[in-house]
Amino acid sequence: MSTQGTPPVAQDVPDEPDVDLTQTPTKDPQAKANMAGLAIGVVGMALTAWLAINLFLALAFYPQWFFHNKFLIGAIGAIAGVGAAYVLFYFLNKFIDSLPRRLSNGVIPYAFVLPGLGFIALVLIYPTVQTVNYSFANRDSTAYVGLDNYREIFASNEFWQSLLNNALWLLIVPAVTVILGVAVAVLADRLSATGEKVSKSFIFLPMAISFVGASAIWNLVYDWRPADQGQTGLLNAIWTGLGGTPQVWLQIDTARLNSILMMVILIWLQVGFAMILLSGAIKAVPEDTLEAARIDGANERQVFFKVVLPQIKGTIITVFITVLILVLKIFDIVFVLTNGRNTSNVIANLFYNELFARGEGGTASAIVVVLLVLVLPVLWYQVKTFREEQGQ
Amino acid sequence: MSTTTSERTQAAPKARRNPKLMADGRRRSWFAIITMTVLAVLWTIPTIGLLITSFRPREDVAASGWWTMLNPFAGDKGLTLDNYRGVFEGASMGSAFINSIAIAVPATIIPIMFAAFAAYAFTFMNFPLKDLLFIVIVAVMVVPIQVAFVPMLNVLGPNGLGISGQFAAVWLLHTGFGMPLCIYVLRNYMNTLPVSVVESAKIDGCSHYQTFWKLVAPMAMPAMAAYATLQFLWVWNDLLIASLFLSPDNQTVIVRLAQLLGTQGQGQELLTAGAFVSMILPMLVFFGLQRFFVRGLTSGAVKG
C-alpha cells in the first residue's frame, strides 16, 4: 500500500528546500509525506469501499440475513450509504492530508469531485455511449446490424405518430404552464399575505402527486358510462348536463383530443412549480423600478409588460426549459391512461413497449438515440447560457 | 404611542377600517381575489373527487358520481373504510408502501452526501478542468434517463452484478440520476454564501474537510432540504425505474397503483383508495419541508 505513496514523495524532494526557505520555514510539518497517514488513508478507503459494496450486495442477494424485513433493509441501506460516504471521505481526507502539502492542495479538489462524478459516469455517461452503440446492434445486443434499427423505426407509422404527438406536447404544455404560472404568481401577489399563502397552497398541492396518482385522479374526471346510466365522470356529467351524449374522452383522437386531455393533467401538476419560481422572481423585482414607471404615468398593464416581464425573463426561461425537458420524456401519464392507443403514443412510451413488451433492445436503443438528438438543442442552449453567466 | 409619531403609524389602523385597502396598505384587488378563488377551487376539485370516491361503497361508485355526496337531499350517503381495508389486505399495498419507504429514504440521502462535497469543490476551489467538468454536469442534467436503461439492465442484470430487481439497484440508479441536479443546485446555493467565511477558516488553519463539515454543510442546509424534498418526491413518484428494475416482491406503491389502473373492472374500487394512500406520505414531506423548498428554490438555487 505504501509503495503507492512513495513516487510522488520522491518527485517532490528536490523542490522542498525552496518552499521551506521562502515560506514559513519553521511551520509546515507536512512538507513531507506522512507515511503512516498515507497507509491508514489507503487501507481505510479500500476497507470502507469493500465493506460497503459487500453490504449492499448482501442486502440484494441475502435478504434472509435481514429477516426479509424491508424496513430493516431500507434503514441499513440509508445508514450504510451515508455512513460509507462519510467514512470514505474521512479516509480520503486523511490520505490527502498525509501527502506533501503542495501535492495535497492539487489533489483535494478531485477527491471531493470524483466520487459524485463517478456515479454520473456510471449511470449516465457510460450508458449514453453504450446506448448509441446498441442502437446499431440486434435485439439482445449480440451482433451488429448496421442501420437496420433506424430503418425499421423510420419506416414505422407508429414512430412518426409518436413524434408528432411529442411535438404537440412540446408546443402546448411548456407555454401554457408558464403563462398560467405567471398569471397565478401575479394575481397571488396582489392578495393579502394570508390569502396568498392559502391560495398558493391549493395550486401547488398537485406537485406532490405522482403522474400515476394524477392519472388516477383524472381518470375519474374523464370516466364514461353508457347514456342510459348515471355518469360518474365529472366531465361527462357536465357534458350531458349541457345536452351532449356521453363520450369516451380518452378514445377520441379527432384533433388529438385525447392527447390534449392528458396534457391538461401535466399542466395541472406543473403550474404550482412554475408559480413558486416565478413568484419568487416577481417579488425580487425592485419596488423603485415599479414606482418610477408609475410616476412616469405607466398604467398597471404597461408596468407589468415593460418593467416586470423583462426582469423575470431569466426565470421564465428556466421554468420553460425545465418543463420542456419533462415533456420531452413524458411517459407515465400516457402509459397508464391509454398506453398509446388511439394515436396518443409518445416517444418514451414507444421506447418502453419496444424494450419491455417486445424485448427489442436494438430498436429501443435507436428510439432513445432519436430522443437524445431531440434534446441536443436544449443541451446546447443550457451550456451556452451557463458559460455566458460564468463569463460575467 | 406619542402623538407626534402617530401620523405615520395611523396608516395601519386606518387601512383596517377602509375596505378598499388591505392591512399592509395596498389596494384590495377584487379581480385577484375572485380569480384566485376560482382557480384554487378548480385545482382542488379533481383531488376532492378522488378523496370522496375512495370512501364510497363499490355499488355507489358505479351508480353515481361523487358529487351526489355533496347534495344533502340525495338518497345514498353511505361512507365506508372498506376500500382502504381492501387496499391493505388484498392489493398488497401495505408491503408496497414499506418498499417505497425503503427505496426512497436511502435514494434521497445518499446523493446529497456525495453531491455536497462535489459542490463545495466547484464553489470554493480552483483546479484544472473545473469548468469543463461542470459543463459536463450542466449538459448531463438534460440527458433523458431512458438512455440508461438498456445498458444498465445489462450491467445490473444476471450477466453483470446480478442486483437488478433489488433495492440496491434502484438506490444506485436514483443516486446517479439525481447527482447532476443536486450538484448544480447545491453549487448555486453555495455560490451565494460569503467567500470570506471560508477564507477566514482557511487562515485559522482549517482544512477543506473541516471547513466543509463545520461551516459550509450547515450553511447549505436550506438548499439540501430543498433538494431532498425534490429528490424524495421524484423517487417516491417514479414509475419507470421501479417497474424496470424491481422484482415483483419489491414493487413500490406507484407500480401497484399503475397496475390497478391498468386492470379495468376488477379491483376498481381499490384504485381510488390506493391512489390516496400513495399520495399521503409525499404530501406530508412536501408540506413539512415546504418552507425550505420554496426558499431553497427561489434564493439562488435555480437562478434564471
CB contact under 8 A, B240 and A85: no
Give the residue, B203 or A121, on which the prediction is more confident. Answer: A121
* Nearest partner of B168 among A239, A63, A69, judged by Cα: A63
User: Rounded to whole angstroms, how far apart are CA atoms B224 and B81?
Assistant: 38
A221, A214 Cβ separation under 8 angstroms = no
Question: What ranges make up the beta strands (E) of chain B?
Answer: none
At residue A22, the pLDDT reads: 41
CB contact under 8 A, A207 and B39: no
Instruction: Tell me how close the Cα of A347 comes to any Cα of chain B, in angstroms.
Output: 10
Instruction: Tell me how close the Cα of A336 comes to any Cα of chain B, in angstroms.
Output: 6
At residue B4, the pLDDT reads: 43
Least CA distance to A118: which residue of chain B? B176
Collect all residues with Cβ–Cβ distance below 8 Å to A115 and sequence separation of at least 6: A85, A88, A89, B114, B117, B118
User: Rounded to whole angstroms, how far apart are CA atoms A185 and A310?
Assistant: 15
pLDDT in tens, B218-241: 988 888 988 898 899 999 999 999
At residue B18, the pLDDT reads: 66
CB contact under 8 A, A331 and B233: no
Query: CB of B81 within 8 Å of any CB in chain A?
Result: no
A217, B275 Cβ separation under 8 angstroms = yes
pLDDT in tens, B250-279: 889 999 889 888 776 566 778 888 888 889
Give the residue, A331 or B86, on which the prediction is more confident. Answer: A331
Query: CB of B147 within 8 Å of any CB in chain A?
Result: yes
> Per this entry, what is the length of chain A?
392
At residue B5, the pLDDT reads: 41
Least CA distance to A347: which residue of chain B? B146
B257 CB neighbours in chain A (<8 A) are: 210, 212-213, 216
- For A298, phi then psi, to 5°, come to -75, 140
At residue B264, the pLDDT reads: 62
At residue B298, the pLDDT reads: 63
Cell of B182: 443536486
- Half-sphere exposure of residue A180: CA atoms within 13 angstroms, side-chain side: 24
The one-character DSSP state at A232 is -
Query: CB of B213 within 8 Å of any CB in chain A?
Result: no
The one-character DSSP state at B165 is B
Residues 40-79 of B with CB under 8 A from A: 40-41, 43-47, 49-50, 53, 61-67
Percent of chain B with pLDDT over 90: 27
| A66-80, A302-316, B194-208, B290-304: segment of lowest average pLDDT | B290-304
pLDDT in tens, B108-166: 999 998 999 999 999 998 888 899 999 999 999 889 999 999 899 888 988 878 888 88
CB contact under 8 A, A212 and B261: yes
At residue A127, the pLDDT reads: 94
User: Rounded to whole angstroms, how far apart are CA atoms B40 and B48?
Assistant: 12
Least CA distance to B231: which residue of chain A? A208
Mean pLDDT by 10 residues, chain A (392 residues): 37 40 47 79 86 82 75 81 84 83 83 92 94 90 87 92 94 96 91 88 89 92 84 87 86 88 94 90 88 88 90 90 90 91 91 88 92 91 87 70
User: Rounded to whole angstroms, how far apart are CA atoms A343 and A355?
Assistant: 20
Angle, vertex CA A373, rays to CA A371 and CA A376, nearest 5: 115
Q: In a mutagenesis test of the B interface, which of A209, A221, A352, A355 is the best target, namely the one with the most B β-carbons within 10 Å?
A: A209
Whole-number CA gyration radius for chain A: 29
Query: CB of B254 within 8 Å of any CB in chain A?
Result: yes
